[in-house]
Structure formats: C-alpha cells, structure tokens
Amino acid sequence: MRKMFFFRHYMTELQNPNIAALFKRHGARGYGLYWYLLERLYSKDTNTLTYNKDLEKELAKALRMPCWRVRTIVKDLEVLRLVEITSSGLLSSSRVDYEVKEVRETMAKKRG
C-alpha cells in the first residue's frame, strides 16, 4: 500500500468526550502525546508499536517529558479507549485501523 502522508484531524476533536477528558487531565502534553502516537502508528506497516520501557524513553525524549508522565498519559489513553495495548504489549488504535481500512478500500475501488 502507498504510504499515507496525512490523516484526518477534525476541528471538533475536543468535543469528543474521551479526548476532552484527556485534555482536562493532562493538557497539551496529553493531547500532543496522543497525536504523536497516532502519527507513529500511521507510519508503521502494521499500525502497531511495541509498548515497553524503550518506547516510553523514546516518547519521553521526543516530547521532553519524564517517563513517569508518558506512562501515566498512555495508561489514561488506554482507559479512555483512545489506544489499546494487548497482553503481548502491542499498542494500537481503532481510529488508525479504521482510517487505514477506509483508505485501502477507496484505493481498491479506484483500481478496480
């Protein structure tokens, strides 16, 4: 599949109760981490990331925040159902999965 160079970010995102709750609790840091994770997920062929201490350190360094804060925000992202973490440690997002599926279907229709 051709790489995706953009994804939808609706102007009404903060009206989503889960995102509003994230923003209320963590402010721009939480909101930024959420969108940064989505960008990373879109860039992976599997649309998943291995969630472990190394990823926490990477995120902390990239976003200039302590690892404990990254861990706290990611835990809240999971509780708010904005991301999922499997028992094997794979982080994913149903939003990303849906968008990628939609793009693939649209491309298949154009080809076929």
**Cα(112)–Cα(105) distance, integer angstroms:** 10
First to last CA, the chain: 15
In this predicted model, what pLDDT tens digit does every residue of 60-88 receive, in sequence order? 999 999 999 999 999 999 999 999 999 99
Kindly report, residue by residue over 18-52, the tens digit of the pLDDT: 999 999 999 999 999 999 999 899 889 899 999 99
Residues near 3 by Cβ (< 8 Å), separated by ≥ 6? 43
CATH topology of domain 16-111: Arc Repressor Mutant, subunit A (1.10.10)
Decide: 42 and 7 in contact? Cβ < 8 Å. yes
User: Using an 8 Å Cβ cutoff, are 7 and 100 in contact?
Assistant: no
Total-model pTM: 0.84
